Amino acid sequence: MLVKVCCAAFAFHENRKTCYFYDFKLQADYVNVTDPGLVTYVDVREEYPLHTGQNCMKVYNVEQTWFDANNTCSQDGGQLVTMTPDDVDLKYAVLHEHLSAEEWFWIGANDIDTEGEWKWNDGSTVQPLKWMPDNPDNSEGNEDCLETTNIHWNDQPCNDLRKFICEKLKF
Ligand SMILES: [Ca+2]
Ligand SMILES: [Ca+2]
């Protein structure tokens, strides 16, 4: 079974031959005493420890180009973090203590296809939620990928090496 979600624990009910998903961590010796068939599980939650409403995130502390970071997240069953008006405050609240005001991390948007038209990796338009003052500035005509601190965004050359943040859906 390929699990492409971050925060799920799952249990297998031996009598019903059924899997159950949970959005909380199961203990190593978890046995449901009122339902004793439910005894086995795999917990993948710890891999992506930063939880928000629908997602959980992981900060990768290795430096890669935006393209390699994007591939790393995909190969891990996730994606570079996206931000919408609905979840941006919650995500920064969670990320705040794990990032700093000085260090930049790749997240999942670019304007590679059309200069100035910022798109998240799913093709949706980037709402101007967190741009640093005077950005995006496409400095030297070569800043097409989105990076963030714990405060705001900047457009930056995609081949620069940065740490990055992946996310997965909870379910
Ligand atoms: Ca650009
Ligand atoms: Ca810039």
Of the segments 43-47, 75-79, 113-117, which one has the largest average pLDDT value?
Answer: 113-117
Distance 137 CA to ligand 1 centre (A): 7
Distance 117 CA to ligand 1 centre (A): 8
Distance 28 CA to ligand 1 centre (A): 48
Distance from C-alpha of 54 to C-alpha of 46, rounded to nearest angstrom: 16
H runs (alpha helix) in the chain: 66-75, 88-95
pLDDT at 86 over 50: yes
Distance 156 CA to ligand 2 centre (A): 5
Distance 138 CA to ligand 2 centre (A): 6
CATH 3.90.45.10 matches 50-169:
no
Domain boundaries, the chain: 9-47, 50-169
Could you report the per-residue pLDDT of 122-167, keeping only the tens digit for each? 999 999 999 999 999 999 999 999 999 999 999 999 999 999 999 9
pLDDT at 69 over 60: yes
